Chain A
């Protein structure tokens, strides 16, 4: 067994599609590691959760139109996705925190545990609903977009995380991951211009202050790096209607409806970029680990270090797709 486990936190509002994102990462890891002795696996009950999610998605797609609301209930408790990069008997546990998205703003009594986990996480993943970000034609929709994405709360949480990284002099990676972005990236009608517009909208407009806050806390990009990496967690859908409706809190809420594109089979795309970025952080963290000499000897004798490092190295050396881009963190103008 590896001595370490790596903590990752998802910072996403309610029902953005966090489980689908994790299942997408697992699916693309299978392809990326095919033909090697390594594999990324869902461990324990995470396997059951992922299987349920995949089956629910397949069932929803079979109906011809896809409404994200039909997938699963909303999260009510803290849960941990348990993954492991495995080579033979060697394992590198990777644990991803999930929790009710509303806690980002409400921060009730259970939040302390989440905050501590986030503080310890070397990687923050920010899934963002691309439909909310891109389908804003009116002032009310623009306001609703910011409210529903909880941008102010997310900015404060990432600022605290960056501050903690700086204090501990520990590097970290933040990955902004637009999901439900098929219509802007891969569906018929999607163009390079629409893909660039999505990136500009998120990086230069909606989350500009967040990146600036991280930059200000860490004095530059050396300690904390940030990336934009869109993921098509479904692939075979195209937005029909954003479905803005007034909600009980007097803000609009989006109820998007997608048509399913033939052949109606899920085609994950972009999750490999997230996996590569995770591997880069893991590679540097593994190299920096200070282990006891007994542990070094054990790992040398069993070949665990070599096998695991080779697997991480393989992912680490892969190139990011053109869509995934580093984000330059600068002070807002």
Chain B
């Protein structure tokens, strides 16, 4: 597998979404970590150390109701697969930045044909075995992307930022090369505005492309309130300290008497 184990989730005309191929489906880490912030049926890019999940990859295939089918790609990345994973992620981000969707990626996967996908979803003997290898063959032929370096650069930006996905691709390449278990991430979440993403922002080295930058993250408000409270306390304390010596020294107290006490 060249250090990169890719699994595809899709559906057939009749059978609903499932991972195809012979490898057992991955545990749903994307669902546990990001549900509520993104609609997985629309373009979503989630990269964590040693793994990534990209969903909402539009296909030209349709289900029995005539609705567009989509793909999701899941990958586990070993050290020897990091270069290819970085290339794939850079390509995915470039496509999303240039076209506003991941349909170009879907068109690539569609090359295997509706029948092959339907058979794989149905678990038909022979098709399920070959689909993983066929997908890897397709992904090895993706357009070569320029090297992005591997600097871990935290950022938060909106999806309409012209540089959003270029920055995300660079960070994704760096994050996926880290040892699994670390907390860095590079993610595109299509529903959540910035104010909803406090739990992610609190973690180290997060690169986040979100729906919009709306307000100051909520966690900052208590922090600012706390800072304001401490400052106020310091001012009051300073004022009290200044008052005490003036009484004790027996100086002209009439001049320092508060107006309201008169």
Measuring CB to CB, which residues of chain A are less than 8 angstroms from any residue of chain B?
A: 14-15, 44-45, 48-49, 52, 67-69, 72-80, 82, 100-103, 106, 108-110, 247-249, 253, 255
Contact = CB atoms under 8 A, between A and B. Distances in A.
The 9 closest A-B CB pairs, nearest first, are A102-B16, A45-B191, A69-B66, A247-B64, A248-B13, A76-B17, A249-B14, A73-B41, A77-B40
A102 B192 contact: no
Contacts of B11: 74, 76, 102
Contacts of A102: 11, 15-17
B155 interface: no
B58 interface: yes
12 contacts: A14-B65, A44-B196, A45-B36, A45-B191, A74-B65, A74-B69, A76-B40, A76-B72, A79-B35, A102-B15, A102-B17, A249-B14
Contacts of B211: 48
Given A45-B191, A48-B192, A73-B41, A100 B16 contact: yes
B102 to A, nearest CB: 12
Nearest to B40: A77
Nearest to A246: B64
B36 A80 contact: yes
Interface in B1-56: 9, 11-18, 25, 28, 31, 35-42, 55-56
A101 B11 CA distance: 12
B192 A15 contact: no
Given A77-B31, A77-B40, A110-B28, 18 more contacts: A14-B65, A44-B192, A67-B66, A69-B67, A73-B67, A75-B41, A76-B17, A76-B40, A76-B72, A77-B35, A77-B55, A79-B35, A80-B35, A103-B16, A106-B15, A248-B64, A253-B64, A255-B65
B172 to A, nearest CB: 21
B70 to A, nearest CB: 5
B97 interface: no
B78 to A, nearest CB: 25
Contact of B16 (A45, A49, A69, A106): A106
Interface in B42-96: 42, 55-56, 58, 62-70, 72
B42 A73 contact: yes
Interface residues of B, number: 39
Is the contact region of chain A dominated by helix, strand, or loop, or is it mixed?
loop
B31 A78 contact: yes
B193 interface: yes
B118 interface: yes
B67 A15 contact: yes
Contact of B41 (A74, A108, A255): A74
Contacts of A80: 35-36
A79 B62 CA distance: 22
A73 B31 CA distance: 18
B14 A248 contact: yes
Contacts of A249: 13-14, 64
A67 B28 CA distance: 33
Nearest to B14: A249
Given A45-B192, A48-B191, A77-B35, A69 B14 contact: no
A247 B11 CA distance: 14
Contacts of A48: 191-193, 211
Contacts of A72: 41, 67
A65 to B, nearest CB: 14
Contacts of B31: 77-78
Interface string B221-247: 000000000000000000000000000
A77 B64 contact: no
Contacts of B65: 14-15, 68-69, 74, 253, 255
A109 B196 CA distance: 29
